[in-house]
Structure 1
Amino acid sequence: METLLNVFLKTHVIKDYCPNGMQVEGTSNVKKIVTGVTACQELIDEAISHTADAILVHHGYFWRGEPEPLKGMKFRRIKALIENNINLYAYHLPLDVHPEVGNNTQLAALLEIDIKGSMEDGNPQSVAIWGEMSKPMSVTAFTAHIQQRLHRMPLYIDGRIFNDIKRVGWSSGGGQGFIDLAASKGLHAFISGEVSERTTFSAREQGIHYFGAGHHATERYGVKALGEWLSSNHGIDVTFIDIDNPV
């Protein structure tokens, strides 16, 4: 399973700040998988109740710079996986940038944005993408569009210049730092999952509308699509479980 996923997601060519692939080893016979955005305790408990052999997530463990001791919350999570013989597979940047099941590709499909390319010239594996709506939308209509598709109201910062939105940039999750690059490209709007204090002034002073649509909400669909690919192409029993997260 790990080799299959690693090859499909091309983990060998992507530098990351966490290990991609198997993070906790369980059974060697994987027939049933639970997928979700983050390997939180609630998702682990759901996997146990589903008698899953593995959990497949976007946000796993062992991030660069985090405390290394296995104690407290981290210990309880890993203990539950080991005691129930459950594999944990996690794919971070490889799942953001994949052209088929990646978070950015899936977000574009959901919002009906025609992908034009990377915002970072010469970087085909960029986590910042841009594209165009089929027709211009007012800010009000675009806000409602995001809310309807992602099932949450986005945080909106008025760019004050463009009345309509057609050229859009986006980076799922914590990609708000790309707003300056999006503005330099002349895009009308930029979408990401989170917002920083400085994001407000970047949007206002550079004349680009900003939509903070939720880290979880913008990264819900990549791992879901990856699970569907496993099910359709390899006959794996896969269940996507969406653990609510307002962030």
Structure 2
Amino acid sequence: MTTKTTTHTKEVSTSNVPISAQALTQFCDDYLQANAFKDYSPNGLQVDGGRPITHIVTGVTACEALIDAAIESGAEAIMVHHGYFWRGEDDTITGMKGRRIRKLMQHGISLIAYHLPLDAHPIIGNNAILAKALCLNITGALYPHETHPVGNIATCTPQSADDLKATIQKALQRTPLHIPSYADNKPRLIERVGICTGGAQDMIEQAAIMNCDAYISGEISERTTHSARELSVDYFACGHHATERGGINALGELVSKHFGLPVTFIDIDNPA
């Protein structure tokens, strides 16, 4: 089976000056305020390839296909949103995880990953990038007590659910799954939207508490359908992968501009 990939190289005036994995990580740590987050996996440098970096590959998930593409392109570093060493997983480096890490080490490729910091960043975060693409104006946090919110509330020009669905489809190049919720069996206009990319479908209850007309995330569970109907919140499941391409792509462009190094975004096709 052939894995479909899409590549995009950010064109820059390269300095031809290699950087270390530590310097790259420190820059990203500081920009994303990574230390402010209590996350489900370590943020920053996860695998040190031990080589100076002259070319970086970015992607959503550090799967084997992305590693193979990085090897083929001659990159010395991979930056992703979904890395390794998740809370609750087996600590041993065996099986699939062992194969991935072995390839990284054998080819001297560093792996750098940012999870929640890349969701929450107000400029290049996944939520911020997606909101901009959907013409939504972020106005606050989905959970008001959060200093660095991983979910947001946004407003938009009053529109029908069909109009919002069409905007999502155009922006992400995939048709979202829409679970409608009609007050008094009548479609309503949407102008207040909760948004949290990835696997945050259960935050729909918080969206209802915050008086959102609709909630946008990546995944859907069986229970989400009933929640949308009973909470009177239109739900749009737009794809975990599709909603989280923006942040890592934007981080790569920022890194490319700052260090003057080529950065190639490689999109490993994922329907989930």
Q: TM-score, normalised by structure 2?
A: 0.88
Which one of the candidate residues 235, 241, 244 is aligned to 1:219? 244
Matched with 1:62 is: 85
Q: Does 1:42 align with 2:42?
A: no
Matched with 2:256 is: 231
Distance 1:164 1:145 in 2: 15
Q: Which moved more, 1:27-36 or 1:43-52?
A: 27-36
Deviation at 1:231? 1.1
SS of equivalent residue, structure 1 residue 132: strand
Distance 2:27 2:131 in 1: 25
Distance 2:77 2:259 in 1: 15
SS of equivalent residue, structure 1 residue 242: strand
Listed as ranges, the matches of 1:1-247 within 5 Å are: 1-133=24-156, 135-161=157-183, 162-247=187-272
Deviation at 1:17? 1.4
Matched with 2:17 is: none
SS of equivalent residue, structure 2 residue 198: coil
Distance 1:126 1:175 in 2: 13
Deviation at 1:43? 0.2
Distance 1:57 1:13 in 2: 19
SS of equivalent residue, structure 2 residue 42: coil
Deviation at 1:66? 0.5
Moved over 3 A (4+): none
Distance 1:240 1:11 in 2: 22
SS of equivalent residue, structure 1 residue 27: coil
Q: 1:156 is matched by which residue type in structure 2?
A: H
Distance 2:231 2:88 in 1: 33
Q: Calculate the aligned-residue CA RMSD, in Å.
A: 1.0
Q: Which moved more, 1:122-131 or 1:224-233?
A: 122-131
Distance 1:106 1:177 in 2: 21
SS of equivalent residue, structure 1 residue 35: strand
Q: 2:188 is matched by which residue type in structure 1?
A: N
SS of equivalent residue, structure 1 residue 142: helix
Contact 2:43 2:114 in 1 (8 A): yes
Contact 2:51 2:108 in 1 (8 A): no
Identity over aligned pairs, percent: 50
Distance 1:127 1:80 in 2: 32
Deviation at 1:27? 3.0
Deviation at 1:185? 1.5
Deviation at 1:122? 2.4
Segments of structure 2 that go 5 or more residues without pairing to the other structure are 1-23
CA deviation vs aligned residue, 1:169-228 (integer Å, no higher than 9, x gap): 110001111101111221110000011221111110111100000000010100000000
Q: 2:87 is matched by which residue type in structure 1?
A: R
Q: TM-score, normalised by structure 1?
A: 0.97
Deviation at 1:124? 2.7
